[in-house]
Amino acid sequence: MIVEDVPPDSVDRSGLPVLEVDELTVTFRRRGEQPTRAVDGVSFAVAPGETVGLVGESGCGKSVTSLAVMGLLARRGVEVGGSVRLDGRELVGAPDRTLRELRGADMAMVFQDPLSSLNPTVPIGTQVTEVLLEHRDLSRKEATAQATDLLDRVGIPDPARRLKEYPHQLSGGMRQRALIAMALACRPRLLIADEPTTALDVTIQAQILELLRELVVDSGTALVMITHDLGVVAGLCDRVHVMYSGRIIESADRHELFARPRQPYTGGLLASVPRLDGARGAPLHPIRGSARDVIPWAEGCAFAPRCDHAQDDCLTEVAGSTVPLEYDGPGRELRCRHPIEYPRSPSGATAAGAAR
Amino acid sequence: MLRFVVRRLLQLIPILLGLSVLLFAWLRALPGGPAQAALGERATPEAIARYNELFGLDQPLYVQYLRFLGRAVQLDFGNSARTGRPVTQEFLERMPGTIELTLFAMVFAIGVGIPLGYLAARRHGSWLDSASVIGSLLGVAIPVFFLAYLLRLLFAVELGWLPGSGRQEVRIDATRITNFYVLDGLLTREWDAAWDAFTHLVLPGIALGTIPLAIIVRITRASVLDVVNEDYVRTANAKGLSTSTVRRRHVIRNALLPVATTIGLQTGLLLSGAVLTESVFAFGGVGSAIFDAIFARDFAVLQGFILILAVVYVLVNLLVDISYGLLDPRVRVR
């Protein structure tokens, strides 16, 4: 196969996925404890310029999935199975050196809490330039110039001064912008954002999301957005995978998912979002209970104990009778025996069509 | 910054006043008072009366105290009862030895402690880790004088590898400039004198450095274990930095913050006199001077040395606080 030299500035329009995750499993093994499977057979792909959302509540395995993709999980006590391919290159089982060469250069990550994710004793400038100096053949001076440029691009005013400052001297929004600048420094092909707005004010949240969208559209970067916030999904994602207890339970395009959620869990997530246009004092609709630590997929459906649609066949005594993830119309997949049904309109136009 | 330093120096005043009252009261509370202590148990009442008159001890207590204070402010603590020389001069002769010894002990404790603590953390759960934890527990638990005695017995008396007493071989006729014997040897190019003074530091230095060493190992280990799980270390790894950059810039730098505090505090403690170790090795520093003064009932020396050492201790702590600001930008004083 002939690999053509692609200039870094050109936007990839080939449509081949940047990231392919196939049957990814992550198992934590601690001495004297039962092994815990945090991620169990997760598969998805992200194309250049595409934004894919991984959605679910705390502990559903979405962050572990992202760390596994980046190869950032501890080597000891963690078993990663399945396959993760970045531009066709297998990452699971790749040596540490290879991963370090790819991280920061071809794939990058923005983390949840910008204050704790920045080193408090190192100036912002050094934390930006160190990525450039590691992966690019630059002099210190050139790296500083590029870092100034980067901070300017992510919307930090007076970047030359900010480079000399320490993380605690920046506001929360600025810190997250700085982290994004670090992640984008080497123009990665893949960017993973793990709840990048959770620790920020609502007004800042919108700015950061807007910034991410601009950057992704401009550069053709593939973006994986990890979130529990459906507002973020609605504003940013092309395709959404809903996760529950370490597995994907529903996949659909954004509009489809919001218009016609099929998994009762997805329906519950959508219904539990407080609405501004609802009547005052209208009751909220939380999902009952909370996810369990052990992943109970072996006996049918893990969500069944909390599900309003659950029927007798959702839970069985037979081990290994997991509800499978199946084709559910074009571009959709679903893991459910009793999904939410919608009346078919005679013209064939779906509710989703109306929502567009 | 300057305001911070000045404020800390002003805080020194009440500490010293309190300490001087204590010292003063303690001397007067002794049976027979200073006169009895100085002249011995068989002194005649006449001798005691003359002594009291001579040193103004027949005056009311507050007059005595104010006089003592007035002189102390001018760094005049009276004369040693043993040698008859001014206490301040004695102190200046003794202190360099203690500083040399403290430096040796701390370099030993830091040089061994930080790498050992770091390795123990990196190999968390290994035999090295367990050994360092147990070893540091022992290091804190063993009484210093016992360890000092053991070291001296084994390496000086039995094996004869290292000198076991004093600061320098008496036969060496070294030139004195600063009273730092190693430094003097280097300055005057009397290499054998410098080397000899250095070998005299080894055993007491190791004995003295054991507790700081044990503490530094424990704190470094705990701190590294803490820091490697920090989010910013994950960020550094996510940037694909080389392992050495991650360790140097992101792990070790932050892990050493609490260690720096410990080093400062321990240095302050050692500087203010290692009475036990110095007396086991008959090391002519401040510690053994205090030890001798106690036996000789040389109260002027005791009073003066303890007051000056209190000042030294507070000043060292001030230095620690200032240097901490240099290490951690978050506590940098505005």
Contacts of B242 in chain A (CB under 8 A): 100, 134
Percent of chain B with pLDDT over 90: 17
Which residues, 6 or more positions from B53, have their beta carbon under 8 angstroms from its beta carbon? none
Percent of chain A with pLDDT over 70: 87
**What's the rounded mean pLDDT across residues B234-241?**
92
- pLDDT category at A2 given cuts 50, 70, 90 is very low
Better pLDDT: A348 or A217: A217
What is the CB neighbour count within 10 angstroms for residue B100?
23
- Candidates B288, B293, B284, B94; CA nearest to B170 is B284
- pLDDT category at A348 given cuts 50, 70, 90 is very low
What local confidence, expressed as pLDDT, does residue A275 receive? 67
Q: What is the C-alpha to C-alpha distance for residues B193 and B169, in angstroms, rounded to an integer? A: 8
Tokens of B282: 């008959």
Q: From the CA of A106, how many Å to the nearest CA of chain B?
A: 10
Is there a contact between A72 and B238 if contact means CB atoms under 8 Å apart?
A: yes
Tokens of A266: 């997805």
DSSP 3-state percent helix, strand, coil across chain B (nearest 5):
75, 0, 25
Q: From the CA of B232, how many Å to the nearest CA of chain A?
A: 4
- Tell me the pLDDT of chain A averaged across its residues: 83
Q: From the CA of B225, how many Å to the nearest CA of chain A?
A: 14
Q: From the CA of A196, how many Å to the nearest CA of chain B?
A: 13
What local confidence, expressed as pLDDT, does residue B273 receive? 64
- Contact at 8 Å (CB) between A332 and A251? yes
Lowest-confidence pick of A2-6, A293-297, B252-256? A2-6
Domains in chain B with CATH codes: 2-73 (no CATH), 93-331 (1.10.3720.10)
Tokens of B289: 């001077």
A148 contact B CB<8A? no
- Contact at 8 Å (CB) between B118 and B253? no
Nearest CB neighbour to B238, from listed A104, A121, A166? A104
Q: What is the C-alpha to C-alpha distance for residues B243 and B114, in angstroms, rounded to an integer? A: 19
Better pLDDT: A46 or B58: A46
Q: Which of A66, A72, A121 to mutate to test the interface with B (most CBs of B within 10 A)?
A: A121
Size of interface A-B (CB pairs under 8 A): 83
pLDDT at B55 over 80: no
Which residues, 6 or more positions from A186, have their beta carbon under 8 angstroms from its beta carbon? A104, A105, A106, A108, A131, A132, A135, A136
Q: What torsion do the CA atoms of B243, B248, B251, B255 make, to the nearest 10 degrees?
A: 160
Is there a contact between B254 and A120 if contact means CB atoms under 8 Å apart?
A: yes
Q: Which of B228, B235, B242, B331 to mutate to test the interface with A (most CBs of A within 10 A)?
A: B235
- Tell me the pLDDT of chain B averaged across its residues: 84
Number of helices and strands in chain A (H, E): 11, 12
What local confidence, expressed as pLDDT, does residue A4 receive? 44
What local confidence, expressed as pLDDT, does residue A51 receive? 92
CA distances from B36 to B41, B131, B281, B298 (A): 6, 54, 31, 12
Nearest CB neighbour to B235, from listed A102, A105, A111? A111
Q: Which long-range contacts (CB under 8 A, 24 or more apart) does A317-322 make?
A: A322/A297, A322/A298
A302 contact B CB<8A? no
Is there a contact between A182 and B235 if contact means CB atoms under 8 Å apart?
A: yes
Contacts of A175 in chain B (CB under 8 A): none
pLDDT digits (tens, 9 = 90+) for A177-207: 899 999 988 989 999 999 888 877 888 888 8
Is there a contact between A120 and B238 if contact means CB atoms under 8 Å apart?
A: no
Nearest CB neighbour to A135, from listed B231, B240, B328? B240
**What's the rounded mean pLDDT across residues A135-153?**
90
- Candidates A230, A234, A251; CA nearest to A242 is A251
pLDDT digits (tens, 9 = 90+) for B5-46: 788 788 878 888 888 888 878 777 766 666 776 677 777 888
Residue A131 identity (one-letter amino acid): V
pLDDT at A338 over 70: yes
Q: Which of B228, B239, B324 to mutate to test the interface with A (most CBs of A within 10 A)?
A: B239
Bridge partners, residue A37, by sequence: A27
Residue whose entry in the numeric block shows the structure tokens 């994986």: A224
- Contact at 8 Å (CB) between A350 and A260? yes
What local confidence, expressed as pLDDT, does residue B34 receive? 67
Q: From the CA of B218, how many Å to the nearest CA of chain A?
A: 22
What local confidence, expressed as pLDDT, does residue A320 receive? 66
Is there a contact between A121 and B242 if contact means CB atoms under 8 Å apart?
A: no
Fold of A19-237: Rossmann fold (3.40.50)
As for the ipTM of the complex, it is 0.83
Residues of chain A with CATH 3.40.50.300: 19-237
Nearest CB neighbour to B239, from listed A120, A121, A131? A131
What local confidence, expressed as pLDDT, does residue A5 receive? 46
What local confidence, expressed as pLDDT, does residue A331 receive? 84
Is there a contact between B241 and A111 if contact means CB atoms under 8 Å apart?
A: no
pLDDT at A285 over 80: no
Contacts of B236 in chain A (CB under 8 A): 119
pLDDT at A349 over 60: no
- Candidates A176, A172, A180, A150; CA nearest to A163 is A150
